[in-house]
Amino acid sequence: MKVGILGSGDVAKALAGGFVKHGHRVMLGTRDTGKLKDFVGQHNGAQASSFAEAARFGEVVVVAVKGTVATEALKAAGAANLANKPVIDATNPIADAAPTNGVLKFFTSLDQSLMERLQAAFPDARFVKAFNSVGNAAMVNPQFKGGKPTMFICGNDDNAKATVRGILDQFGWETADMGKAEAARAIEPLCMLWCIPGFLRNDWFHAFKLLQSS
Ligand SMILES: NC(=O)c1ccc[n+]([C@@H]2O[C@H](COP(=O)([O-])OP(=O)(O)OC[C@H]3O[C@@H](n4cnc5c(N)ncnc54)[C@H](OP(=O)(O)O)[C@@H]3O)[C@@H](O)[C@H]2O)c1
- How confident is the model over 29-62, as pLDDT tens digits? 999 999 999 999 999 999 999 999 999 999 999 9
Q: How confident is the model at residue 79 (pLDDT cuts 50, 70, 90)?
A: very high
Q: How far is 127 from 129, CA to CA, in rounded Å?
A: 7
Is 8 touching ligand 1 by the criterion CB < 6 Å?
yes
Three-class DSSP category at 142: coil
By most ligand atoms within 8 Å of CB, the mutation choice from 65, 92, 106 for ligand 1 is: 65
Q: Which of 89-93, 109-113, 156-160, 210-214 has the lowest mean pLDDT?
A: 210-214
Q: Which residue's alpha carbon is nearest to atom 17 within ligand 1? A: 9
Alpha helices in 70-143 (DSSP H): 70-77, 79-82, 114-121
Assess contact for 102 and 200: CB atoms under 8 A. Answer: yes
Q: How confident is the model at residue 214 (pLDDT cuts 50, 70, 90)?
A: confident
